[in-house]
Structures are given as C-alpha cells and as structure tokens.
Chain A
Amino acid sequence: MNYIFIFLILISIVCAIINGKVDVLVDEMLQASSRAVTVAMGLIGIMAFWLGMVNIAKGSGLCEIFSKIIRKPLLKIFPDLKNNDDAISNIAMNISANALGLSNAATPFGIKAMEDMQKDNPDKTHATNSMCTFLAINTAGFQIVPASVLAILVTNGTHNPSQIILPTLIVTTLAFLSALFYVKVLERIFGND
C-alpha cells in the first residue's frame, strides 16, 4: 500500500506538470479530501441500520444457526477461523449480500467480519491470512446480476441488455476463483511477516 500510495501521487504530479494540468490537480486534490468525508458520513445511517439488524440476529441466536450451516465449506477457505463462529456467519452474510447485489447491506457485514477476525489477531496493525483471503474475494466482486450496469444500459437504450448477464457472470466467477487462487499462493510466498 505504501508504494501504491506514493506511486499514484508521484505519477500524478509528474503527468500534471507535463500536461499543464497542475491547477486541475490541486483543485481535485482538495475536493477529493472533502468528498472522502462525505462518503464516510453517508455510510453512517445505513451502517447503523444493518449493524442494528445484525445485533438482533446475534441476540436471538440466528447468527449461530446460520454459521453452523455454512461453517463446513467456509472453513476450507478460512482454516484459521475454526473457533470464530461470529466471523464465519458475517463472512457468509457478506458474500451472500454481495452476490445478490446488495452492496449497502454487504459492507456492514464485511466490517463486522473484519472486527471478529481482528479479535484473534495478535498484531492489530497487520492483516491476518483470513483477512487477506476475505478481502481478495471481496475485491473480485462476485455478483449474480449486475444491477447498476443493467440500469445504465437500459436508460441508454441498448437493445436486449440482458445479453451481458451471462458473460458477466462467467467473468466474475473466473475473477472470484482466481482471487482465491492468488491469495492462497501469495500467502505461502509472504509467509507470516
């Protein structure tokens, strides 16, 4: 992340000077900082709502039932979470919500899952293997129906927009599987540092 952060900003400054766009760059820089705060503030309400709902499910024992059902297959991907049922059920909810295209609901579950994994993490600033696996499959963005893209195609008058559903599903499945593959391979290379 260090290199990506430095690299992005350095390249930007150099390119902006070459392109004569320094004023736009500075302007965007200031606007983006306040936009970040707006995005975070926008998350408060929806986050509070779903965290509330999750807590009801936890209090009534529904989370426990759910995690029992989903435990076996998920433990194959997350072997470190043997004794962490909360994390397992939140990961399962996150993946299901994402697959259904409910990204608003998926984020709070994902953050809850991260918190559950953080409880067992000996070094609170380093990501654990399970966290990396969870993040990698999340960035692959597995989704059954790409609702927002379909909406854009429909409003722009594409004929038969549903023809993109099957190719998208194939590609996203491949991306999902490759993310899982890469994260497991890299886990060996990175070791436990």
Chain B
Amino acid sequence: MIKYLNMLSTLILPLIILTILLHSLYKKSCAYEDFVEGAKDGFNIAVKIIPYLVAIMVAVAMFRASGAIDILQNILSPVLNYLKIPTETLVICLTRSLSGSATLGVLSDIINQTGADSYATKLAAVITGSSETTFYVASVYFGSVGIKKFRHALPAGILADITGLIAAIFICRLFF
C-alpha cells in the first residue's frame, strides 16, 4: 500500500510537467517564452514575503527560546495526566501551528525520549502529519500580495488546528 502511494507521489510531478509540455506542443504555444516570463516573478515574490517572514519567525523563535512552553507544561501536566495524554506531546501541540522545522525536531525528540513504538510517538506523528504550520502559511500567502489585515483567516485556522488536535487525541485512543 505505502509502496504504491509513494510511487504515485514520486511519479506525479514528472506527469504534471509532461502534461503541461505536451499540451503546449499540441497547441503550438510558445513554451519557452511563457516559462521565462512566468519564472521572472519568483524573485519578486520571495523578496516581497521577507518582511512577513521576519515578523513571524522572530516572534516564534523568541517564544520558543523564552522557555514559555516549559512553564505551560508544568502548569498543564496534572490536567494532561488526568486525561491520559502524554505530557511530551504538549510541546508538539503548541509548535505545530508555529513552525514546521521545529515540529519535526520535536517529533524526533519524542521518539528518542519515549521510544519508536510508544503511544506518545504515534500521537505526535498523527498530529504532525495531519496539519500545517498555520502562521507560516498565512505570512507567505498573504505577504506575497501585501495583505496586512488577515480578518477571520487566522481565527478559523487556529480553531481548525485545535479541532484537529482534539480529533487526533480521540482517534489515536481508538486506534492504538
């Protein structure tokens, strides 16, 4: 099963490119000119999102460096124990919406601490695999077109993240 899915996901990129190029050949459009023209925007977009990325990445890095997560972990651990949620997974719940690379790092930490087949590892893996870094996505997408007022996008994203976390805890208890 995994083998076929992996094969599909490695094949899909070349297939998309093939389809685009064959269609262009069939329609006799100017593929090379179009490509260069479109690719020009790559640089502009990357430069445009820098201020947005600096804002969110600095805020998140400061939050992680300050030890605020440790304090929260101490306060919440009795509640988590009561609900039978491994305390190690709290960090991943908090970092998931903030930073992608940090989350993968935390997942590795949890595996090292609790073992590769522990309940905490499986729960953390499901949490990591089932959501996106909300703040990063918001800064990149809105930043690229200069949107400064995010309106209800972030509240909706955060609420969905929380729903995902709760769902992950319930579903994992059913499965593992």
Task: Please give the residue numbers on chain A whose beta carbons come within 8 Å of chain B beta carbons, in ascending order.
Answer: 1, 4-5, 8-9, 11-16, 18-19, 21, 24-25, 27-29, 31-33, 35-37, 39-41, 43-49, 51-62, 100-102, 105, 107-108, 110-111, 114-115, 117-118, 124-127, 131-132, 134-136, 138-141, 143-150, 152-153, 156-159, 161-168, 170-172, 174-176, 178-179, 182-183, 186-187, 189-190, 193
Contact = CB atoms under 8 A, between A and B. Distances in A.
A12 B19 CA distance: 49
A78 B5 CA distance: 30
A52 B49 contact: no
A190 B149 CA distance: 12
B152 interface: yes
B67 A1 contact: no
A77 B82 CA distance: 40
B160 A8 contact: no
B81 interface: no
Given A164-B122, A178-B164, 20 more contacts: A8-B60, A9-B59, A36-B50, A43-B42, A43-B46, A48-B40, A48-B41, A59-B33, A114-B141, A124-B145, A125-B147, A131-B142, A139-B138, A139-B160, A143-B130, A146-B128, A148-B104, A149-B125, A167-B172, A175-B163
Contacts of A12: 59, 62-63, 65-66, 68
Interface residues of B, number: 105
A53 B45 contact: no
Contact of A8 (B17, B29, B63): B63
B117 to A, nearest CB: 6
Contacts of A176: 160
Given A146-B130, A168-B126, A59 B66 contact: no
Nearest to B157: A139
Contacts of A189: 152
B29 A172 contact: no
A151 B18 CA distance: 27
B116 A32 contact: no
Nearest to B60: A8
B67 A186 contact: no
B65 A183 contact: no
Contacts of A1: 138, 148-150, 154
Given A62-B23, A126-B151, A44 B66 contact: no
B153 A102 contact: no
B46 to A, nearest CB: 4
Contacts of B38: 51-56, 58
Contacts of A55: 34-35, 37-39
Contacts of B130: 141, 143, 146, 168, 171-172, 175
Interface string B47-67: 101100111111111111111
